[in-house]
Structure 1
C-alpha cells in the first residue's frame, strides 16, 4: 500500500496557509500545520480531523522550534513530500520619519528571511529522499521596488533564497516554487493600510500552490506571480 504524502505548511493558522492546508487535505495529503498560534492550529486540526492532520506550535524565527517541527513530523508521518515556507508578516515602519521600531524590524527579518531559510535548511534533506517539492511565499514587492518599509526588502531576499535553492538542488529531483502574491484579503495586513481596493482571496493563492504541486514530476513551476485584476504594481 502506497504511503500517503505529507504536506507541511508554516504560517498555517490563517490566510494563505490555512487555505492551502484545507486544499492539501482535500487533495488527500497528510497535513502538518505550523504557526505560533497554537489555539488556531488546534481548532483547524480538530475541524479537518486528527487522523491526517497534525498541529505543531512553531515560531519559525527560532531554530530549535523548527528542528522540533521537523522531528515531530517525521515521528508522526515518517516522511516529507511538500514543504510550503509561508510564515511571514509585514510592518509598515518607514525608513525616514515616524517612530523608531528596531525590535519590530528585527523580528520581521528573523521571521521572513531567517525563518524561511531555516525551513529550507531543515526540510531539504528529507525532501531529497522523496524527490519532493519546496515552495516559499514571496511577494509582488519582492519583484518590484516598494517604498516606506523593510518588508519589501525581506521579500527581495526571499526571491534570492528561492533562486539559490533551485540552483543548489539541480539533479536531486526536488522542485522549487516561489509564490508571489499581490494584495490578498487576509489577517496578514493587521493595522497596515492596504494599497488600493483590488484584492485576491486566500483561496486564489492556495489554488496556485496546488497547481504547482499537482504538476507531473518532470515539471517545475519556478515562479507564480499573481495579482488581482487592476493592481498596477
Structure 2
C-alpha cells in the first residue's frame, strides 16, 4: 500500500495530554498534520497546545464516556479543518492500585472497561463517517496485555484484548470503503499511568520483576512510541508493537500463553506476592 502522507491531513487524538498522546501529537504535528487534541482536562490540553504552537491545532475537552461530546468534537474538527482523516483512540486508564478480581472495587472495574473499551468504541463510531469519507485511518491503543496474562490487572487486560478484536474486525470492514484501521500495542511506557501503579509499591514492582524478563520489564520513553505511531499510520499498519521485542510473544501467543499461565500457576514466589497483595488490599 502506498505511503499515507500526513501533511495537511487532520488527526484527532483522545487522551492527548497523557504520555503517549502528547508525544504522538507532537510527532504528528511535526509531520505536517492538523492536530486535534482531545482530553478530559482542558487546562492540560490547552497547555500542550500552547507549548506545541502553530495554527494547525485545535484543543477541546471531551470525556470518551460521553458519546455526545465526542460527536461534537468531530463536528468542531470538521468545521475547523474541513475533514477528519485519522482518529487515534488513545484515552485509557488502569487500576490504581491494581487488585485481584476478588478484591477490586466493582465500580473501579467497570469504570476501566467503560473508558478503555467503550470509550474507544464511542470515539471511533463518532469519527467513522468522516474516516470513510476521507478514506482515512483509525488507530486504537491496545497493550501487550492483550496477549499476556493480566493477573492483578484484569479489567485493563480484558478491555485491551477486546479493543484488539474490535480493530481487527474494523480493518476488514473498512476494506470496502478503502479506509484502514490498526492497533497499537505498547509495552511498559514511562508515563504517569505506569508510574502511579508502580512507584512506591514494592509488591507490584517485585511481581513485575518475577513475572517478566528484565528485557520486557524495562520501560521505554513515550517519544519512542510516538515515532512508531507516525510511521505506523503512514504505512497504514495493522499492528504497531513497541518495543519490537514483544513481537515474537504476540506472534506465538497461542503457544506461549498456555505455557506462561501454567508457569505462573506453579511459580511460588509470584503466588506468594499475589497473596500478599490481596491481603494488603482487603485490610
How high is the TM-score relative to the length of structure 1? 0.90
User: Is residue 2:224 matched to residue 1:204?
Assistant: yes
Q: How does 1:130-209 map to 2 (within 5 A)?
A: 130-149=134-153, 150-193=155-198, 195-196=208-209, 197-209=217-229
User: For 1:44, what is the secondary structure of its paired residue?
Assistant: helix
Please name the residue that 2:34 is paired with.
30
Please name the residue that 1:94 is paired with.
100
Contact in 1 for aligned 2:63/2:70 (Cα 8 Å): yes
In the aligned structure 2, how far is the partner of 1:226 from the partner of 1:44? 24
Q: Which runs of 5+ in 1 are unaligned?
A: none
More helix by percentage = 2
The alpha-carbon deviation at position 227 of structure 1 amounts to 3.1
The alpha-carbon deviation at position 50 of structure 1 amounts to 5.1
The alpha-carbon deviation at position 228 of structure 1 amounts to 7.2
In the aligned structure 2, how far is the partner of 1:159 from the partner of 1:104? 22
CA deviations over 1:129-158 (Å, ceiling 9, x no partner): 111010000000012222112211111111
Q: Which runs of 5+ in 2 are unaligned?
A: 1-6, 199-204, 210-216, 250-283
In the aligned structure 2, how far is the partner of 1:189 from the partner of 1:65? 27
The alpha-carbon deviation at position 17 of structure 1 amounts to 0.3
The alpha-carbon deviation at position 68 of structure 1 amounts to 1.2
In the aligned structure 1, how far is the partner of 2:92 from the partner of 2:246? 25
In the aligned structure 2, how far is the partner of 1:214 from the partner of 1:169? 17
Please name the residue that 1:76 is paired with.
80
Match of 1:12 among 10, 16, 24: 16
Contact in 2 for aligned 1:136/1:179 (Cα 8 Å): yes
The alpha-carbon deviation at position 191 of structure 1 amounts to 2.9
The alpha-carbon deviation at position 226 of structure 1 amounts to 2.0
> Structure 1 residues 230, 67: CA separation in 2 closer, same or farther (over 3 Å shift)?
closer
The alpha-carbon deviation at position 69 of structure 1 amounts to 0.9
CA deviations over 1:181-218 (Å, ceiling 9, x no partner): 11000012253126345111101111111011223xxx
The alpha-carbon deviation at position 229 of structure 1 amounts to 5.8
Contact in 2 for aligned 1:7/1:31 (Cα 8 Å): yes
Larger Rg: 2
In the aligned structure 1, how far is the partner of 2:233 from the partner of 2:160? 22
The list of structure 1 runs, each at least 4 consecutive aligned residues, that deviate by more than 4 angstroms after superposition, is 228-233
User: For 1:145, what is the secondary structure of its paired residue?
Assistant: coil
> Structure 1 residues 230, 73: CA separation in 2 closer, same or farther (over 3 Å shift)?
closer
CA deviations over 1:95-142 (Å, ceiling 9, x no partner): 124xx4122112111110111011111111101111101000000001
What's the C-alpha RMSD, in Å, of the aligned pairs?
2.0
In the aligned structure 2, how far is the partner of 1:154 from the partner of 1:191? 19
